[in-house]
Amino acid sequence: MGPELNIAAESHNVVSMNKLNNNNWNVWKFQIKVILMAKDLYDIVNGTDKQPIEGAELIAKWKLRDAKAQEALVTRMEEGPLAHIMQCPFACEMWKKLESIYDRQSVVSKHLLNEQFYNVKFDGDLNSFITKVTNICAKIKQQSDEVPERMVMTKILMSLPESCEKKEHIKNQCKKNMECFYCKKKGHLMKDCFHKKQKERGENKQQKKTCSTSSNFALVTVSSDIESQGNTENSTFCSSCVQGKQHREPFPASETRAKEVCALIHIDLCGPMEVLSIRGSKYMLLLKDDHSKYRTVYFIKHKSEVYDKLNEFIVYAKTQTGKCIKVMRSDNGTEFTNQTVCDLFKRHGIQHQLTVVYAPQQNGRAEREFYQFVTCLNDMGYNIS
């Protein structure tokens, strides 16, 4: 009866404790550390007590303690975090894996929460605004950080509107009692005077109608097509003004596609990212087939790895599809135009198409792919916070 009661009591404690999820790493880490220290298993988890090299009895005893430590960890987390450690054979490796993932996420969450704290604005309801600030401070405290109380009060006072109900408001400094030096009316300052701004707008309109006749601007005769549109007030216009207002016309939508796989591959490189991946990568190399829209993404640490990944993909595509790549299209980045990559394309008989400078629209399928990918990453980051 004794062991059964102990097992039931222990399982009850597991249920009552908060399980690890994507939002409570700091609280869970503190709780599980206390539990492991109470069971004399924390030295197994942090790697202090390592597996003995000799002695069958000592090894068996250490493995039993490691199994208990693993049980304490895996029974106190949800399925999402559990997926990260399923391949780890020992408790210390599980702990290091969890720290490498969630400690880095905690740093990102702290930055996002601090950004929310400084950007929150007064919405008209004082109670609602104080509640928002308090909730953000509570979330920051859960991340093992804390906002000083004086900073919270400063944030609230600075966000309040400039009204007579504000704390420590001086009556003779109220805008209601001030006189405008421009229109001589009370209730506003000269910088906010409506009559002054209206007069300035009228003067600006007259200046725009009159084109400068100085030597710095050439005057030319208005063309017949402009006159046909009803612009007959002035017979001249400023050519420099026309050139300064020119803009690029939108690119027409492409309706052509490759007729078979590997006929055209769009390639592009995205990075460097502000936050490194779990394995330390900061660039993404995208290769997308124009016909099937099949895409392959390689995560790399340096631009110098582009050559190896392109060579790997060329062999992979030929093996999987039985067809050779005919054309690869990229921008003019040096990672694609250096001599080693050009020699690689020549060796495999691949035509390398380059987009026009400052015209990423010509490689729009790869550019759009990265835009959607980075947007999803940003959404996931805000969702975690």
Q: How many CB atoms lie within 10 A of CB 197?
A: 12
User: Tokens representing 240?
Assistant: 């420099």
Cβ neighbors of 122 (< 8 A, separation 6 or more) are 129, 159, 160, 161
Where along the chain do its domains lie?
2-105, 120-159, 264-384
Ramachandran quadrant class, 327 (left: phi over 0; alpha: psi -120 to 50; beta: rest): beta
pLDDT value of position 7: 41
Q: 221: helix, coil or strand? A: strand
Q: Supply the pLDDT for residue 162.
A: 60
Question: Taken in order 272, 274, 278, 284, is the CA torsion positive or negative?
Answer: negative
Q: How many CA atoms lie within 13 A of 94 on its CB side?
A: 24
- The whole-number pLDDT of residue 129 equals 80
Number of other CB atoms surrounding residue 357 within 10 Å:
8
For residues 343 and 327, give the distance between their C-alpha atoms in angstroms, rounded to a whole number: 14
Q: Which CATH number is associated with domain 264-384?
A: 3.30.420.10
Tokens of 231: 């612009």
- Contact, 227 vs 236, CB < 8 A? no
Residue 35 has what DSSP assignment?
H
Consecutive H or E run containing 353: strand 351-354
Structure token pair of residue 79: 């399925």
pLDDT for 217 equals: 39
Nearest to 279 by CA among 293, 295, 300, 256: 300
Residue 308, token pair as written in the block: 């190896």
Reported in sequence order, the residue ranges of 32-112 that DSSP labels E, i.e. its strands, are none
What are the contacts of 330-337 at 24+ separation with CB within 8 A? 330/266, 330/267, 330/268, 330/354, 330/355, 330/363, 330/366, 331/268, 331/355, 331/360, 331/363, 332/357, 333/269, 334/303, 335/269, 335/303, 335/306, 336/267, 336/269, 336/306
> Under a CB-based contact definition with an 8 Å cutoff, are residues 188 and 177 in contact?
no
381: phi > 0 → left, psi -120 to 50 → alpha, else beta; which? alpha
Predicted TM-score (pTM) of the model is 0.37
Rounded CA gap, 300 and 138, in Å?
38
Q: Are 75 and 13 in contact (CB under 8 A)?
A: no
Q: Residues near 301 by Cβ (< 8 Å), separated by ≥ 6?
A: 280, 281, 282, 283
Amino acid at 58: L
Which position has the token pair 């980045």?
Answer: 333
Beta bridge partners of 238: 219
Q: What is the DSSP secondary structure assignment for residue 213, as one 8-state letter?
A: -
- Predicted pLDDT at 224: 40
Residue corresponding to tokens 């966000």: 159
CA angle 252, 256, 259 (to 5 degrees): 165
CA-CA-CA-CA dihedral for 57, 61, 63, 64, to nearest 10: 140
SS3 300: strand
- For the chain, 385 residues long, the average pLDDT of each consecutive 10-residue run is 43 61 79 89 87 86 90 87 86 86 67 76 78 79 73 78 50 59 78 81 62 41 42 60 77 77 90 84 90 90 90 91 90 88 92 83 76 77 69
